[in-house]
Copies of this chain bind each other. A is one copy, B any other.
């Protein structure tokens, strides 16, 4: 919607800004905020160091814009899935699948996100934390709504929604992370992996009709 009114000049500017962000996200993801230098970003983005300051007012702002970008992507993705599914299972399945795909294609962005979540670098102003929390909250409220509906509809057992969601979020997140780290995932195996994790969460892993021998 914003893009509508941009002149060529402005479009070019946006393009260059994006180039810088693309370069920066990779380095930030690899080294973290503090250990990343502007020299590195400048070199990777093929701009002069001074030029960066024509687009961003500080190193921190670059970081902030990257985080925003990732969060919005993710949020929009979830909203879209939310609107096109009915059951909790489908929501979880589709979301996880989409996340996996996104992460696979934007490994750096993903790591950066994880990294920032874990990392409470106070130097990186709490503003960033706030942005993340805000995005998180919107997503959460959607999932909670759907979970309650799933309980009501007897799709799942009557468990505390907060706990379930915490488990979903964290499990999915962590599992994806582990997969990416160890590298044994391709675009083809995504459907399969997604099914694996979603099904376990929904069905558990216990053998049903037999007694475990101890």
From residue 175 to 214 of chain A, which have CB atoms closer than 8 A to chain B? 175, 177-179, 182, 196-197, 199-207, 210-214
Quick check: is A121 within 8 A (CB to CB) of the other chain? yes
Copies in the complex: 4
Quick check: is A114 within 8 A (CB to CB) of the other chain? yes
Q: Kindly list chain B residues whose C-beta atoms are within 8 Å of the C-beta of A179.
A: 166
CB of A167 within 8 A of CB of B197, answer: yes
CB of A175 within 8 A of CB of B164, answer: no
Q: Kindly list chain B residues whose C-beta atoms are within 8 Å of the C-beta of A34.
A: 32, 34-35
A212 to B177, CA, bound (A): 31
The stretch that binds B, out of A3-11, A56-64, A70-78, A155-163, is A155-163
CB of B122 within 8 A of CB of A31, answer: yes
CB of B156 within 8 A of CB of A30, answer: no
**10 A-B pairs closest in CB distance:** A204-B204, A174-B174, A170-B174, A200-B204, A155-B212, A203-B204, A34-B34, A171-B171, A34-B35, A170-B178
